[in-house]
Structure 1
Amino acid sequence: MSTIVDLQIYNDKVVCGQHKNEVCAECHQSFEGINDLARHLKATNGQVPPPGAVLPLRSQQIAKMREEGNTHFRAQRHPEAIIAYTNAINIAFDRPLWEPTGLAREELAVLLCNRSAAYIARKEWVNAYVDAQGVIELKRPWSKGHFRLGKALFGMGRTEEGIEALKLGLMFDPESAEIQKALKEAEAALALEEADA
């Protein structure tokens, strides 16, 4: 049985007519998808590109912000790197719906991985862990995501889980010197923990 919902335009968004909410718990309706599509279509001024088209300006902005983050990271200005990566992530997340999803996934995987590294450098383990998990969700076979996850878990004191993450990363890239080094360090730390117990 279908339900009829009274819709209205309020503050330039589709909302439920009765409660004026974009996401209405009482009506069990969400109009976020419609509003998101409308926002993207409005931004084109009626010039909707064909499916699969990529707006070069957005890609340039993302690349510029990523490089800015990389420059800050190399200079060990980690808070500034995190801000730049976050700005790039926000731009990538806001790609129009008609652009290829693979492009956004690739961009987001790299940006989250870079931001995870900056969080690791600041010993912000939980943030590093969350970003690394995001990388793995977006690009599972990429060893870098597993490396970042292992480092974050190790930093959180979850050494055994960190070792498992690093081993999985090695499965995807058996020649990775950084993963091999991190794995040896983690296994040595675990041996010390077990000897002290």
Structure 2
Amino acid sequence: MSISLGYDPKSKAISVGEDSVGDESLALEVKQLNTLTQELIAAGSDVPPQPSPQTFNKDMSMMIKKMYESGVQSFKQGKFAESAKQFSIGLEMISRRQKFESFQGTLQELNLFLMSRADAYLKTKEYLKAFSDADMLIGMMMCTPENFLRRGVANYFLGNYEAARADYQRGLAFGENNQRLQAELDIVLDKILEENGDYLENEKL
């Protein structure tokens, strides 16, 4: 299979030829390659610096931290919609970090903001958005019980009771003494019993 690509020597950007325009996978790869190329050019060196805490953009970190603190403050004041918006802005800022920066540091920021935004979405009853954030968190932090709690609560209010039960049970596998998970599991088991009428009582044991 031949692929038609174009190259702009001035911008150093690659473009997809007309015969490959419909290939979304190829278009995404080209876009990512162009992003890396532009950031490498902006770095002003042939080889990007070794990712480390020392090369992490401190100014960006400070702005991201301030945005997080603003979101937390709004959450504490009960301004949940505003809080979710601030966490979204923070996530956008994180996504604008240079791709050659330390991913470990970026991952920590992502986890912090996604957890906080998921909590804000649960408060504003935007359960599908909360589910999406919690699902992403589980993909990054499988062993964190609270992320299963977040997704479980979202599933519960979306009417996905069996999925919620599975989330709570998985969360308890990583934190068997988590009282909130156990309480939510009891609630969803009662709901399943109420909905189906044929739920086995020993499932609650």
Where on the TM-score scale, by shorter chain, does this alignment land: which range? 0.7 to 0.9
State the match for 2:34 in structure 1: 35
Pick closer, same or farther for the CA change 1:40–1:187 going to 2, 3 Å. Answer: same
CA deviation map 1:19-78 (0-9, x unaligned): 5xxx9437x554212321233235545595433221112222222111211111111111
CA deviation map 1:139-162 (0-9, x unaligned): 111112101000000000111110
In 2, the alpha carbon distance for the partners of 1:17 and 1:151 equals 43
Describe the SS at the equivalent of 1:6. Answer: strand
Select between 94-103 and 69-78 the one with higher mean Cα deviation.
94-103
TM-score (norm: length of structure 2)? 0.80
In 1, the alpha carbon distance for the partners of 2:176 and 2:193 equals 23
TM-score (norm: length of structure 1)? 0.83
State the match for 2:128 in structure 1: 126
Superposed, which structure 2 residues align to 1:148-167 within 5 Å?
A: 148-167=150-169
Describe the SS at the equivalent of 1:7. Answer: strand
1:121 to partner: Cα distance: 0.9
Unaligned runs of 5+ in 1: none
Superposed, which structure 2 residues align to 1:174-193 within 5 Å?
A: 174-193=176-195
Count of residue pairs brought into register by the alignment: 193
Amino acid in the other structure paired with 2:13: V
Unaligned runs of 5+ in 2: 200-205
Describe the SS at the equivalent of 1:180. Answer: helix
Describe the SS at the equivalent of 2:13. Answer: strand
Select between 105-114 and 49-58 the one with higher mean Cα deviation.
49-58
Pick closer, same or farther for the CA change 1:62–1:46 going to 2, 3 Å. Answer: same
Superposed, which structure 2 residues align to 1:66-145 within 5 Å?
A: 66-145=68-147
In 2, the alpha carbon distance for the partners of 1:75 and 1:182 equals 25
Select between 43-52 and 100-109 the one with higher mean Cα deviation.
43-52
Q: Report the aligned-residue RMSD.
A: 2.9
Of residues 64, 67, 87 in structure 1, which corresponds to 2:66? 64
CA deviation map 1:161-180 (0-9, x unaligned): 10110111111112222212
Describe the SS at the equivalent of 1:97. Answer: coil
State the match for 1:172 in structure 2: 174
Pick closer, same or farther for the CA change 1:92–1:156 going to 2, 3 Å. Answer: same
Select between 172-181 and 81-90 the one with higher mean Cα deviation.
172-181
CA deviation map 1:105-127 (0-9, x unaligned): 22212211211111111111111
Describe the SS at the equivalent of 1:99. Answer: coil
Q: Which has the higher helix share?
A: 2
Report the identity percentage: 22
